[in-house]
Structure 1
Amino acid sequence: MQSGAVSDPSGQIATEPAAPDVVVTGSRIARSGFDASTPVNVFNQQDIKLSGNLNIDKTLEQVPQVVASQLGGATSNTVPGGYADVNLRGFGSTRNLVLVNGRRFAIFGPEQVVDLNTIPSSLIARTEIVTGGSSAVYGSDAITGVINFIMREDFSGVEGRAQVNVDRPTGTPTYNFDLTMGGNFAEGRGNLVVSGNYLNRGSITRGERGTFAYLSLADGCVAPGSGSATRPGTPFTPAAGQSCTGGGGQLGFIASGSGDIPNGRFSGIPAAGGPNAALNAAYAAAGLSGLTSRGFTFNSAGTAARPALTPQDDFNLGPDNYLIQPQKRWMINSFGHYDFTDNITGYMELHYSHNEVNARLAPTNIGSPMLFNVNNPYLSPALQNVLGVLDRSETGNATVSAGTATYTNRPNDGLAQITAGRRYVEVGPRMASERRNVFRGAWGFRGSLGDVSENVLSDLKYDVYYTYSRSEDTLLLQNALSRSRVQAAVLSQNGAQPVCDIFGAQITEACAAAIRISATNTTVATQQVAQGSITGTLFRLPAGKVGFSSGFEWRKTDAVFSPDSFLASGDVAGFNPGLPTRGSVSVKEGFGEVRVPLIHDTPFIQNLTANAAFRYSDYDLKGIGGNWTYLGGLDWRVNRSIALRGQYQRAIRAPNVSELYGGVNRVTGVATDPCSNHGSAGLQTASVRAVCEATGVPAANVFTAAVQPNTIIPADFGGNPNLAAEKSDTYTAGVVFTPAFAPRLLFSVDYFNIKLDGAISSLGGGLQNTLTLCYTVIQDASSPYCQAVQRNPTTGEINDPYVAKILNANTGSLRTSGLDFAARYRFNLGFGFPGLGETSSIDLSSTFTWLNDFTSVPVAAFPNIQNHCEGSYGPTCGQPLPIWRGTSRVTWETGPLSLSLRHRYIGPVTTDRYLVPLRQGSTATPALNTLVYPKLPDRHYFDLSFSYDVAKTFQVFGGANNVLNQDPPITTQGPSANTFSATYDVMGTEFFLGITAKF
């Protein structure tokens, strides 16, 4: 929650007088005062403006209840990507729901997530966040809560806004312009607002940022007196007090990178000193007598070869990658309504946006076996002799695959097979451009139905609407390589000289053009929603009105992903292959909600109110069918100063199109078949044998090499149309303190506890887990884990076409709990400043989250294997999950001037390589002093901002974020730029300045 907001049960700022009835996120029943069972976090347009953030996703990432999303936002630099999302409570962006004006917004892609780049920050009047299951009120996806953007709909006049942001380290600007026009018509019965936005965010590469981002780092042992890495830009030193082997060295960060290097690294051949005397002699003549398994490389001219070294020869991947992705956005929004009669109002919302977000990655590499002519003209005679000896030393025929092409390699055929690991820098850095067009329309009628009687079914109101959204995404991939073209280009064609010389830095533009390839993917996603609802008073009780809401909703989501044919074939190197995905999900729902006042105006009970809601969802998916979600809660206002609240909610999430219908992709990886001789001898029991035979292994072959002739096993991964819904239970309980002796003070504490079962992931958590579950844990041939295994009926082997089907399944669980604290206090100082104001005031606000538990169970069938991630970070737990995190703000106002200081706090975290096994009781837990910088220290960020009303129609605002210019903590376990770039500030100090003019 942004500083300046409070955890207020009504969604209203606590210092304001009681508001009229409004609909606050988390319920469809209009109400006022402190009568909500679950806390609603609120921040408004002024909070957004003072933060300096131009995209709303960055503002949300600074909310303590939100865990940063590495795959979305300006720092992601992923392919595919180009979007911004929100991750409430760390359960993932697919498990929370984004609304605009209480209605579902446009989605993109088969994952059915809202791209926050399509939400205009300048049009947001306020943002309301409910954390905790809300499926009974809003339907599927609201496992961890709802983010509801309330837009400025009723506007008259013209307002222009311009803002520029510039970071201190590189001086890269981001420009944003908004123009909003609105007015009333038909004697005030109607209003129409049209707003346009243009944003242009400059790019920053890791090389431009330098310091922490320039290098590709690895954990290592730093020799005494050598400092750390020797490449330019490194600021790193050894970890104090942590020793390692190597003559008294210390643990620290060292320069690392890719072994596929620009001058080429050629391996996959015998090391020098082996039994082949002819080969050893050839190596010596070519200067390779010290050749190891790492292979050899060339000088830039390609005239001399030498053994390859590490890390000296490794390629630094860092500088080419974007740290901040460039973005261009054009957007137009329109809101209108017209009162046809006093009881019928028609309304409309229209949205169109065009977003371009680019990713940039290090140049493409290929590191696979390739064939070369032994008389390759680009090689010296000595190296030609090496290839000739290798060719003569080959035994039998071998198949060499190069994308869509295959070759047969035979002894003495003039071809030698070598693994060629090369970084093709001459082709240029890999570039990916996401171009997303989004259209959304909402049309509806609302109004009053009056009263059936004075005491029963009174104050009736209706709302009927239909929304349609369509997202069209084009992903253009450039500077990739065709594996088949590369192989063909290094071979002589009909005696002609090969097109490409890949030895050293000798690739010409003709070669680059021959092997370079582009690819284009397209994605289209549509969503339709039709809903009708009635709200009002059901009847009256002595304690007050019984409010109700009921209605019907229909939703349908369609998504189509069409990959480029080159990419789908697997011939493209540089970008991951993709398979077509197509599908739809539709649901019909009935819902209802009721609020019942039980007691009022009695000793110790000023008000006691119960609330309940239900929703029945009927999906067109055979794995789900019909599902109930529901909630129940109590609000107890003891007196003016103290209010208590609590609620239980059952929520569901239906699987999305990607999880249901994602293209099946065959992956070959290392695994151990328990039915073979590769497994542990202690597990070769009679019960395992029985399951092996029941799943198709011939009795004579059980526990023999015939079942698994090698350690590589193929498996199919992808969508599963039989998935069930994820289900969650959420408990919240809190107290709100608004003391009578300090009427401008609000303090709240809320406990949350969320547990999700049936989390959707790959069956069993992967191939090896599936095999283990089938044969050594569950040992039931009819279990889904055993049913996923297919075997050759003759040998019992798992191999093409008999492969394991590791499709998506409801396989794991998640849980989290903790406390949310929020406070706000506003007081007058009683003095002002000449020319500004006769008085001034101070506004203090703070919101913090204490994380008690964050646990994942990867496979429900292994309930004892739990990853306890609170207070940790790393490859298992992901983004940092500090125990304490929060923001505080102090704002001084006098007349037209406002000055504000914000403090953002992120607590310390420890690597999950230590914490997870420690909490599991593992005897293999590493000691902290054997890990490089195992703890990331806490971070205190200070932000300054101001706003000044030059005139009633003209305002200037600005500020600086991270004024102390702190770099993020460094770790090799981070997903990008040697840190967690989505959690910590990576731009250093960022200045912003803007103006708003109204006419």
Structure 2
Amino acid sequence: MNNKRFNHHGNSLSALLMAVSVTGIASAQDAPEVKPDDNKVVITGSRLASGGYLAPTPVTVVDQQELKLTGTQNLEVLLSDTPQFTANQLSSPTANTVQAGQPSGTSTLNLRNLGPTRNLVLVNGRRFAITGPDFTTDINTIPSALVKRIETVTGGSSAVYGSDAISGVVNFIMRDNFEGVEVNTQRTWDQPTKTPTKSLDVTMGGNFANNKGNAVISLNYMDREGMTRGDRGDWALPSMGDGCVTAASWSSTRPGTPQAVPAGQTCLSAGGRPGLVYSGSATVPFGRIGNLPVVGSSASNPALNAALIAAGLQGMGSLGAVFDQTGKAIRPYTAADAYDLGPISYLVTPQKRWMGNAFSHYDFNEHHTGYLELHYSNNTANVQIAPTSASGNFLVNTNNPYLSAPMQEVLRQLDLRETGSTRITTGTQSLTTTPGDGLAVLNLNRRLPDIGTRAATTEHSVFRTALGLRGDIPDVSRSFLSDLKYDMYYTYARTIESQNQSGSISLSRFQNAILSQGGAAPVLNPFGQNITEAGKNAISIFSNSTIRAEQQVASGNITGKLAELPAGAVDFSAGLERRRASSSYSPDAFLSSGDVSGWNAALATSGSSTVKEFYGETRVPLLADQPFAKRLSVSGAFRRSDYDVESVGKVWTSSIGTEWAPAESLTFRAQKQKSIRAPNVGELFGGQGTNGPTATDPCSNRTPAAQTAAVRALCVATGVPANLVFDQAVQPSNFINQVVGGNPNLTAEKSHTTTFGAVFSPSFVKGLNLSLDYYKITLDDAISTLGGGGIQSVLDLCYNTIQNANSVYCKAINRDPITGQIAAPTYVMTTAANIGGISTKGYDLAGHYGFRTDWGLMGDSRWNVDTNWTYVKELTFTPIQDLPNIKNQCVGSWGATCGQPVPHWKGTARLSMNTGKLLLSARARYTGGVTVDTYVVPQRQGGTPPALNSLTNPTIKAYTYLDLTAGYEFSKSISLTAGVRNVFDKDPPILGSSQLPANNTIAASYDPLGRSMFVTLNLKL
């Protein structure tokens, strides 16, 4: 379908939805409504029974009906549509990646864009299982069929719930009192590729012991098939990169500056993808030899010039030469030889899930109830990427029999021009070569499709049990310590993840296999594509790793009325809690030693932390049923935490709030909180290992504006040969390795949250509820990698900001003295540190309007109009708080520094009609426009950004997706629901170097599936 036909419809719809939200048609973002037969409810964000009061903390509620209307099979998809959440690039169905030492195939939440470790996930108000060293919770392990509602506290709550609740708390309230049998089966598929996801849920429950108890058992199976980039070749292939900007490649409203087309590339304009060119890897299947001296250059000599000319390499550039398939013929490398890593890489990863949950409670008498929760799940997920490679400096015999005579002479001349001893380290071994010893240093870059596709299979098993007792205890008196209730429980959760990886090679074995042993021909011929079965067996390896995580919580809590005041009862809550969390990561010898090419290496991690806490909370009513004070109260909470981690020690968290209702229909609320996040095992004790994200090396940057004299001098001072500075050969790939790891001296992160807002439920418009809340969160001592943003930040701080070769950032960069390339073993050191700061603020606008009409498709109708919007006013990262003037202001942006897109406006709006047995619903999802951070960040820092019209695809326009759902209830036992997501089949934005990660777009934030459908059959027996 031609998307352009619908552009004006989409823009009109966006404007309409904005107007609707402002006039008050909104989804409930307040406390759950108290029904007439309810005495008290407990709202996430407070342990106090509300008794009908609204909490001072804003709470967003997603109910079971929304899960039904969206066809939710994985909860992270539903929540990522909610405007308070940002997509999580490394933890979603589109995350086709393995992070060494971290769980794989999991789904975590990113609330307020503060990261998955800074929000707390609860199930029925209690902590769930942790996935590994980062202490996050995999919400793949929470069954959508059992979810009654999801409550999200959008602000810090450490005083109420403890560590991690900096950006908020997400509480999944489950159906735990169920009678009967319910079967729910669903099939989802996208229209372009027909790739299906199938799920089946069976829930059984009933009362026992003369209705004193109830037990619920739910079983779930889900099978999501994978989709490769090749399956969506209409936009996901070929792999694109920044090319050139010409007047023809921009619309008339965005005139571009004509620029020269880079050598060997074609600038696509009309009929192509504006400004983009094919961007493949310079590590190719037939093998490329890089860093060969160019004929006539100062790095060569007459004898080597003659050898290069005889081999046909007189026209060679800085990227060297490439072999043909036989390995005998060689010629200068061109951009057209680049290898596309994309076709077989997963765009959506396959997943299979088995899950069982059981909930039971039993009333021993009218005062005491025991309860039990059991969970077991098994998730299998797969990652698939392009074949691995051997890339770097290797020693090769100058008389290698697989090479032509002219190339043997080139190697002989390279050997003769060596100076002194040269040590070459590959994998776990180091070899030394001297001039004339028959060994030449060759920068070999060989893609290895002969070995096979890289594949990783992760099996993730979770067991959890919760055993508790709750009830009431006698009052001390009618006016003091009355209405007392207690809840005490113990939970134990264990996660075991095993991962098996194939398609890798041992680098040390590769080095040995390309050398002659005892005068015999080498086992491996890396030139051309001539690897034999014996050669494959000599270098191939299978790697594996295991992650274990355990969490134990023992908690006791008491709530009630402390005293009676003229305005009402003083509510209180107090309790004790002890938590112990431990985790370990155990890689095999290949991964732990770094002797692997294919999957990221990491050292073993093991550690634990224990905390003992006591806490209290109270709400004091000041006025009630007075003029201009229907209700006025103040509330406060505190928590004292004592960690066995010496660098954290004893910490206090607190909150204070107020709620004022001048009239029954209008309530104002405000709260100020101090929260903390203690460092997790991975941050404290993580073994140091490597990974290879995309980054731009300033010493290989070919953008003229970045090639300053100061940067050039720093490049030379940090190890780049002067003649190679700003040359592509310094960093031929934009995947650059960094060393990450833990730091046992980390302290706790500290945050302050302020919220204030209003709730309006006018009596003259029955069924209308509105809320508007302001939030501000500031985080200090943020734990981050050195530099605050990983490898790119370290590089930028060294070369563009601090510009001191003796700074800690420049010293963290290790380069090959011959090529200038960032090299093993330390690459770029980016270990954990308390160095950063984050500040974010904005507004949440939400509400609900429900009404009835005496007309409709099948008679009387019930209508619901819901909306939920967030306006992010500020999102600022301070990478180094010691340099407070250096701030990355990221709202309205995306990119290597700012991460996933965070627009100013994001929201949803839904219109639903129930008429007779028919349900019809339409939902719009809006994401505002963003601009690439390479322009936005320097502009907001007061610097001089590159001209916007000189950048390739620097903006992403606002996106509006439309979803439609219809349901029909054939009887009380049978109902059918069907829906279409992304009705207009809008493609995601196509990007160059700013894509996240490498699939031409930002698949975690923009729909990569196109139009997709679901059908759900629900049977109640």
Do the two structures share a fold, i.e. TM-score over 0.5?
yes
Report what 1:53 is aligned to.
Answer: 72
Rounded to whole Å, the distance in 2 between the matches of 1:339 and 1:808 is 49
Is the 8 Å Cα contact of residues 18 and 32 (structure 1) preserved in structure 2? Answer: no
Structure 2 residue identity aligned to 1:815: S
Is the 8 Å Cα contact of residues 243 and 261 (structure 2) preserved in structure 1? Answer: no
Report what 2:892 is aligned to.
Answer: 871
Report what 1:792 is aligned to.
Answer: none
Counterparts in 2 of 1:692-771, with a 5 A limit? 718-763=741-786, 765=788
Rounded to whole Å, the distance in 2 between the matches of 1:786 and 1:491 is 36
Give the C-alpha shift of residue 287 in structure 1. Answer: 2.0
For 1:464, what is the secondary structure of its paired residue?
strand
Choose which of 854, 866, 870 in structure 1 pairs with 2:875. 854
Report what 1:595 is aligned to.
Answer: 619
For 2:275, what is the secondary structure of its paired residue?
strand
Structure 2 residue 902 is the aligned partner of structure 1 residue 881: yes
Rounded to whole Å, the distance in 2 between the matches of 1:340 and 1:66 is 42
Choose which of 929, 935, 946 in structure 2 pairs with 1:926. 946
Choose which of 515, 540, 563 in structure 2 pairs with 1:516. 540
Deviations 1:343-373, CA, capped at 9 Å, x for gaps? 1111000000111111111111221111222
Rounded to whole Å, the distance in 2 between the matches of 1:716 and 1:170 is 39
For 1:951, what is the secondary structure of its paired residue?
coil
Choose which of 634, 642, 652 in structure 2 pairs with 1:628. 652
Is the 8 Å Cα contact of residues 872 and 881 (structure 1) preserved in structure 2? Answer: yes
Structure 2 residue 591 is the aligned partner of structure 1 residue 567: yes
Structure 2 residue 108 is the aligned partner of structure 1 residue 85: yes
Deviations 1:177-236, CA, capped at 9 Å, x for gaps? 1111111111111111111111100000011111221222111126899x8xxxxxxxx9
Is the 8 Å Cα contact of residues 660 and 720 (structure 1) preserved in structure 2? Answer: yes
Structure 2 residue 321 is the aligned partner of structure 1 residue 299: no
Structure 2 residue 1011 is the aligned partner of structure 1 residue 997: no
Give the C-alpha shift of residue 944 in structure 1. Answer: 0.5
Question: What RMSD, in angstroms, separates the aligned Cα atoms of the two structures?
Answer: 3.3
Rounded to whole Å, the distance in 1 between the matches of 2:829 and 2:991 is 36
In structure 2, do the counterparts of structure 1 residues 730 and 25 end up closer, same or farther at CA, with 3 Å as the change threshold? same
Is the 8 Å Cα contact of residues 977 and 1015 (structure 2) preserved in structure 1? Answer: yes
Structure 2 residue identity aligned to 1:995: L
Structure 2 residue identity aligned to 1:899: L
Is the 8 Å Cα contact of residues 246 and 259 (structure 2) preserved in structure 1? Answer: no
Is the 8 Å Cα contact of residues 324 and 330 (structure 2) preserved in structure 1? Answer: yes
Structure 2 residue 581 is the aligned partner of structure 1 residue 554: no
Rounded to whole Å, the distance in 2 between the matches of 1:493 and 1:208 is 45
Structure 2 residue 925 is the aligned partner of structure 1 residue 916: no
Q: Which runs of 5+ in 2 are unaligned?
A: 1-16, 700-707, 723-729, 731-736, 814-822
For 1:558, what is the secondary structure of its paired residue?
strand
Report what 1:639 is aligned to.
Answer: 663
Rounded to whole Å, the distance in 2 between the matches of 1:667 and 1:334 is 40
Rounded to whole Å, the distance in 1 between the matches of 2:827 and 2:82 is 45
Rounded to whole Å, the distance in 2 between the matches of 1:681 and 1:271 is 24
Report what 1:463 is aligned to.
Answer: 487
Structure 2 residue identity aligned to 1:585: S
Is the 8 Å Cα contact of residues 215 and 317 (structure 1) preserved in structure 2? Answer: no
Counterparts in 2 of 1:344-423, with a 5 A limit? 344-423=368-447
Give the C-alpha shift of residue 770 in structure 1. Answer: 12
Structure 2 residue identity aligned to 1:727: K
Is the 8 Å Cα contact of residues 272 and 292 (structure 1) preserved in structure 2? Answer: no
Choose which of 188, 208, 213 in structure 2 pairs with 1:190. 213
For 2:235, what is the secondary structure of its paired residue?
helix
Report what 1:945 is aligned to.
Answer: 965
Report what 1:978 is aligned to.
Answer: 1000
Report what 1:485 is aligned to.
Answer: 509
Deviations 1:725-780, CA, capped at 9 Å, x for gaps? 1111111111111111112111111001111111012355489979999xx9999x
Rounded to whole Å, the distance in 2 between the matches of 1:903 and 1:253 is 31
Structure 2 residue 364 is the aligned partner of structure 1 residue 343: no
Give the C-alpha shift of residue 610 in structure 1. Answer: 1.2
Rounded to whole Å, the distance in 1 between the matches of 2:39 and 2:613 is 30
Structure 1 residue identity aligned to 2:72: N
Deviations 1:894-952, CA, capped at 9 Å, x for gaps? 12211100000000001111111111101x31111111121100101000112211110
Rounded to whole Å, the distance in 1 between the matches of 2:446 and 2:560 is 70
Rounded to whole Å, the distance in 2 between the matches of 1:293 and 1:144 is 48
Rounded to whole Å, the distance in 2 between the matches of 1:706 and 1:849 is 47
For 1:293, what is the secondary structure of its paired residue?
coil
Give the C-alpha shift of residue 243 in structure 1. Answer: 2.7
Structure 2 residue 228 is the aligned partner of structure 1 residue 205: yes
In structure 2, do the counterparts of structure 1 residues 322 and 151 end up closer, same or farther at CA, with 3 Å as the change threshold? same
Counterparts in 2 of 1:132-281, with a 5 A limit? 132-221=155-244, 241-246=255-260, 252-274=275-297, 276-281=301-306
Is the 8 Å Cα contact of residues 245 and 257 (structure 2) preserved in structure 1? Answer: no
Report what 1:615 is aligned to.
Answer: 639
Is the 8 Å Cα contact of residues 826 and 843 (structure 1) preserved in structure 2? Answer: yes
Rounded to whole Å, the distance in 1 between the matches of 2:604 and 2:253 is 48
Is the 8 Å Cα contact of residues 67 and 87 (structure 1) preserved in structure 2? Answer: yes
For 2:105, what is the secondary structure of its paired residue?
coil
In structure 2, do the counterparts of structure 1 residues 334 and 27 end up closer, same or farther at CA, with 3 Å as the change threshold? same
Structure 1 residue identity aligned to 2:329: A
For 1:41, what is the secondary structure of its paired residue?
strand
Give the C-alpha shift of residue 406 in structure 1. Answer: 2.2
Choose which of 908, 922, 925 in structure 2 pairs with 1:904. 925
Deviations 1:577-596, CA, capped at 9 Å, x for gaps? 10111111111100111111
Is the 8 Å Cα contact of residues 287 and 527 (structure 2) preserved in structure 1? Answer: yes
Deviations 1:300-320, CA, capped at 9 Å, x for gaps? 23332111001x111111112
Q: Which runs of 5+ in 1 are unaligned?
A: 228-235, 673-679, 684-702, 790-798
Is the 8 Å Cα contact of residues 457 and 537 (structure 1) preserved in structure 2? Answer: yes
Report what 2:733 is aligned to.
Answer: none
Structure 1 residue identity aligned to 2:558: I
Structure 1 residue identity aligned to 2:478: E
Structure 2 residue 841 is the aligned partner of structure 1 residue 827: no
Is the 8 Å Cα contact of residues 759 and 812 (structure 1) preserved in structure 2? Answer: yes
Counterparts in 2 of 1:64-143, with a 5 A limit? 64-80=83-99, 81-143=104-166
Deviations 1:390-447, CA, capped at 9 Å, x for gaps? 2233332212222112222222222222111011012112111111111000001001
Rounded to whole Å, the distance in 1 between the matches of 2:494 and 2:625 is 52
Structure 1 residue identity aligned to 2:27: V
Give the C-alpha shift of residue 237 in structure 1. Answer: 10
In structure 2, do the counterparts of structure 1 residues 802 and 241 end up closer, same or farther at CA, with 3 Å as the change threshold? closer
For 1:341, what is the secondary structure of its paired residue?
coil
**Pairs aligned (count):** 942
Structure 2 residue 344 is the aligned partner of structure 1 residue 330: no
Rounded to whole Å, the distance in 2 between the matches of 1:19 and 1:215 is 59
Give the C-alpha shift of residue 321 in structure 1. Answer: 1.1
Deviations 1:672-731, CA, capped at 9 Å, x for gaps? 9xxxxxxx9999xxxxxxxxxxxxxxxxxxx9x99999999x998532222111111111
Give the C-alpha shift of residue 52 in structure 1. Answer: 1.5
Report what 2:552 is aligned to.
Answer: 528
Is the 8 Å Cα contact of residues 265 and 296 (structure 1) preserved in structure 2? Answer: yes
Structure 1 residue identity aligned to 2:128: F
Choose which of 911, 915, 924 in structure 2 pairs with 1:890. 911
Is the 8 Å Cα contact of residues 304 and 414 (structure 2) preserved in structure 1? Answer: yes
Rounded to whole Å, the distance in 1 between the matches of 2:312 and 2:663 is 89
Is the 8 Å Cα contact of residues 191 and 338 (structure 1) preserved in structure 2? Answer: yes
Deviations 1:69-93, CA, capped at 9 Å, x for gaps? 1010100111032110001000001
Give the C-alpha shift of residue 240 in structure 1. Answer: 5.9
Query: Which segment is superposed worse, 884-893 or 396-405?
Result: 396-405
Choose which of 20, 25, 28 in structure 1 pairs with 2:44. 25
In structure 2, do the counterparts of structure 1 residues 416 and 785 end up closer, same or farther at CA, with 3 Å as the change threshold? closer
In structure 2, do the counterparts of structure 1 residues 487 and 954 end up closer, same or farther at CA, with 3 Å as the change threshold? same
Deviations 1:873-893, CA, capped at 9 Å, x for gaps? 111111111011000000011
Give the C-alpha shift of residue 510 in structure 1. Answer: 3.0
